């Protein structure tokens, strides 16, 4: 509680002075209230749950005849290189397409994923092929970009020898 303490008049010099009053505040109730509020908010807060991305893994077919080959017009291949490098090309590696270099920014691979060539084709499948030297962070970044651009059909596959040869032909690596 607050209390006011009066100091007695010293009486020097015969002058009358106004009584000096000092205020003393007891801060104990304020500290108690702060700890009660802190405890209340700590106990009633719900912590955010970690968000996960659901990935459906394909079932290994019993015979190879069930698998349908991917058309070149329905394929976009993204190759994840070392040092955060990213390459992409449309079509299949056997057709020797032109390999383009990009990055993980909004003006990089995201622009390619939202382009008319990708979004206008409902059968477009994005093939993600990380190299041995690429980082796990790059795979997560490209999966995030696919989620942001709402790409429905994509596959995470091993890099083939044809892709490695294509990059070597175009002096990339």
Q: Where are the beta strands (DSSP E) in 7-132?
A: 21-25, 75-80, 86-90, 100-102, 125-130
What is the pLDDT, as a whole number, of residue 51?
77
What is the pLDDT, as a whole number, of residue 152?
84
**Would you say the pTM of this structure is higher than 0.85?**
no
Q: How many domains does the chain have?
A: 1
Residue 57 within a domain = no
Count, in order, helices (H) and strands (E) of the chain: 5, 7
What is the pLDDT, as a whole number, of residue 173?
59
Residue 161 within a domain = yes
Residue 20 within a domain = no
* Rg, Å, the chain Cα set: 34
The DSSP output letter for 64 is G
Which one, of 122, 125, 146, 16, lies nearest residue 76 by Cα? 125
CATH number of domain containing 101: 3.30.420
What is the pLDDT, as a whole number, of residue 14?
61
Q: Is 145 exposed, middle or buried (0-12, 13-18, 19+ CB in 10 A)?
A: buried
Residue 118 sits in which domain range?
71-169
Which one, of 113, 117, 170, 116, lies nearest residue 145 by Cα? 113
Residue 112 within a domain = yes
Residue 133 within a domain = yes
Residue 105 within a domain = yes
With a cut of 50, list the residues of the chain below it in pLDDT: none
Enumerate the H helices of the chain as residue ranges: 28-44, 109-113, 116-119, 136-148, 161-169
What is the pLDDT, as a whole number, of residue 64?
56
């Amino acid at each position: 509680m607050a209390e006011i303490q009066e100091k007695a008049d010293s009486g020097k010099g015969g002058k009358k002075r106004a009584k000096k009053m000092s205020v003393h505040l007891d801060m104990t109730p304020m500290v108690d209230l702060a700890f009660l509020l802190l405890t209340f908010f700590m106990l009633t807060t719900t912590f955010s749950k970690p968000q996960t991305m659901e990935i459906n893994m394909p079932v290994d077919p019993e015979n190879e005849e069930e698998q349908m080959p991917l058309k070149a017009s329905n394929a976009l291949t993204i190759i994840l290189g070392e040092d955060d490098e990213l390459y992409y090309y449309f079509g299949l590696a056997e057709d020797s397409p032109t390999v383009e270099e990009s990055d993980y920014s909004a003006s990089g691979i995201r622009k390619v994923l939202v382009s008319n060539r990708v979004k206008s084709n409902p059968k477009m499948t994005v093939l993600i092929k990380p190299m041995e030297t690429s980082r796990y962070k790059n795979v997560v970044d490209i999966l995030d970009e696919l989620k942001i651009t709402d790409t429905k059909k994509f596959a995470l596959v091993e890099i083939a020898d044809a892709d490695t040869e294509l990059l070597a032909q175009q002096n990339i690596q």
